[in-house]
Amino acid sequence: MVAIAIAVFALRTPRFTGVRYYCPALSGSIMTTTSSSLSPCPNLINGEWIDPKLATSEVFNPSTGEVIAHAPVSGAAEVASAVDAASRAFPAWRDTPAVERARVFFRFRHLVEQHFDRLCHCVSREHGKTLVEARGSLFRGLENIEYACGIPSLLMGDTLEIARGVDCETIHQPLGVCAGITPFNFPVMVPLWMFPVAIACGNTFILKPSEKVPLAANMLGELLMEAGLPTGVFNIVHGGRASVDAILTHPKVRAISFVGSSPVAKYIYETGTRHGKRVQANGGAKNYIVVMPDANVSKSVEALSTAAFGCAGERCMAGSTALTVGAAAERLLPDLITAARAIRVGRTDRPEQKNQPDMGPVITASHRDRVIELVSQGEREGAKIVCDGRGARVSDGPKGFYVGATIVDEVAQSMTIAREEVFGPVLNVMRMDDLDSAIELANASNYGNGAAIFTNSGSAAREFKQRIKAGMVGINVGVPATMAMFPFTGWDDSFYGDLHIQGREGVQFFTQQKVISTRWLGDTGPAAADVWRK
């Protein structure tokens, strides 16, 4: 078990009735709790780990169904305290030169790498990712830290002599207190999409992680403090809707970055902007993968399996629907079914085991039941279950939340499973006559995160990339998720806002541009000359 190294330091805060904790390095002693079987989950406010003694929500190990922690259900008071701390810390951090802010993230990157395995174990334990998936997600997070390390270059402005004796320049300045509201499916990676760039730009930050996966976020906070980030620049508040609403409405919060479902993304965007905040809200998806008759079968099967069943399908870039054109289904399905049946489902919370599973559990029992019901409803509506993972069981994790790889063939556009985001290890297969009809069906979706095509035809690929309605497009790439230097460009109901997360748009989102025009009216009189001599 990965434990956050925090020892009790019996102090009280003026605003809370809870206990403050002192946090040494991760290699130190284990944070004490009322129950030795539970991991502690305090808030981080103004450099102190605080147990607010509030009502709590259960944090599960989805591999076993066991409760491993209780996350505090923070509200407006806790958010206000975090905002106050961030607001007080902002002026000094804003005035810290960008090169010095970057050095904090160089040290932070080193610490994340040093504690890489512990972070991955924590992700596997509280989320259910396999060790390979946890490592992959943390590597993607590291890319964003590395991008933030380049902030001195990213913040450079422009200058031009616009008239005789008149200069014009641009500078990029931080906004103030910013916040990130992150989902359960990537406990480390998605927070690292947000706060490294935000803080490197000179802002202070409040992270509200998913109450389902709060422990890895606390580990990141501990490492940030060890890297030398000043007190109050980074804060963590755990909780649910009450804490989210408090962030959305607090007058001192200037910008909010969100990743989650589309209905919540829309709510975050509308509420935040109504209260005068800059908002980037990334929502859900229904991502289509077109497979042409000339596609390489083995490569297509490999990519489809990864896109549909990787991370147990719990990602907004999951390739959840295969649009097979012409004879592609007959060529593809036998090997695809064989590959899906070969995927081993198992416990992911034991990194020491040599025979690691290929896929772990989904996040909760209720989510497992929802995925299974959507598949069953598709069957009732006429689809064919050609690979059925609904009965997945794990002998050493009988209470875990498991669904096996599932393929649903002959799905029609009118079916519920075709319209809703399943967010589980389920691949829909839809039969299409030609590329035009495949593109038309995909473009009828309200979502627009990602889309991909598998083909050896340059003409088909070009037609697809020009006409498909999605922000991220893959050509023989099943999961076209962007790297840190490129924006994560969802469209339509997959994104609410103007400036996307990651890349230069991320820097623009967390800064405001100032344009300065300068003219010096050289006074040549005796008084001016005397001043310069002095």
Q: Is residue 247 part of a domain?
A: yes
| Whether residues 230 and 349 fall in one domain | no
Q: Which residues are catalytic?
A: 316
Answer left, alpha or beta for residue 111, where phi above 0 means left and psi between -120 and 50 means alpha: alpha
- Judged against a pLDDT cut of 70, whether residue 433 lies above it is answered with yes
The total number of residues written for the chain in this structure: 534
**In the chain, what is the straight-line distance between the N-terminal and C-terminal CA atoms, in Å?**
69
pLDDT at position 530 over 90: no
List, in sequence order, the alpha helices (H) in 283-433. Answer: 297-309, 328-341, 365-380, 416-419
351 confidence band (pLDDT: 50, 70, 90): confident
Q: Are residues 349 and 448 in the same domain?
A: yes
Same domain as 378, residue 351: yes
Greatest pairwise CA separation for the chain in angstroms: 95
Q: Is residue 216 part of a domain?
A: yes
Report pLDDT for 533.
55
299 shares its domain with 279: no
Q: Are residues 350 and 369 in the same domain?
A: yes
What percentage of residues in the chain have a pLDDT greater than 90? 89
* DSSP code for 315: S
Task: Label the pairing between strands 319-325 and 384-387.
Answer: unpaired
CA-wise closest residue to 435 among 455, 410, 456, 460:
460
Across residues 502-520, what is the average pLDDT?
97
Q: Is residue 114 part of a domain?
A: yes
Q: Are residues 328 and 358 in the same domain?
A: yes
In one-letter notation, the amino acid at residue 308 is A
Query: Do 78 and 64 share a domain, yes or no?
Result: yes
Domains in the chain: how many in total? 2
Tell me which of 232, 260, 283 is where a domain ends. Answer: 283
How confident is the prediction for the chain on average, in pLDDT?
A: 92
Report yes or no on 512 lying in a domain: no
What is the span of the domain harbouring residue 347? 287-475
**The pLDDT of residue 531 is above 60:** no
The 10s digit of each residue's pLDDT in 273-327 is 999 999 999 999 999 999 999 999 999 999 999 999 999 999 999 999 999 999 9
Residues 298 and 326 in one domain: yes
Query: Mind listing the pLDDT tens digit for each residue in 177-232?
Result: 999 999 999 999 999 999 999 999 999 999 999 999 999 999 999 999 999 999 99
Residue 338 buriedness (CB in 10 A; 0-12 / 13-18 / 19+): exposed
Answering whether pTM is above 0.75, one says yes
The verdict on residue 522 lying in a domain is: no
CATH number where 329 lies: 3.40.309.10
476: tokens are 């023989």
Burial 214-246, CB ≥16 within 10 A → b, else e: bbbbbbbbbbbbbbebeebbbbbbbbeeebbbb
The band of 521, judged by pLDDT with boundaries at 50, 70 and 90, is confident
Separation between Cα atoms, residue 362 and residue 340, nearest integer Å: 17
Judged against a pLDDT cut of 60, whether residue 266 lies above it is answered with yes
184 part of a folded domain: yes
- Please choose, from the candidates 304, 390, 400, the residue with its C-alpha nearest in 3D space to the C-alpha of residue 348: 400
| CATH code of the domain covering residue 112 | 3.40.605.10
If asked whether residues 211 and 316 sit together in one domain, one would say no
Would 509 be classed as within a structural domain? Answer: no
pLDDT the model gives residue 43: 98
The pair of three-digit structure tokens given for residue 103, joined into one six-digit string: 């050095």
Quick: pLDDT tens for 137-153: 999 999 999 999 999 99
457, 475, 493: which is the final residue of a domain? 475
Model confidence band, residue 21 (pLDDT cutoffs 50, 70, 90)? very low
491 part of a folded domain: no
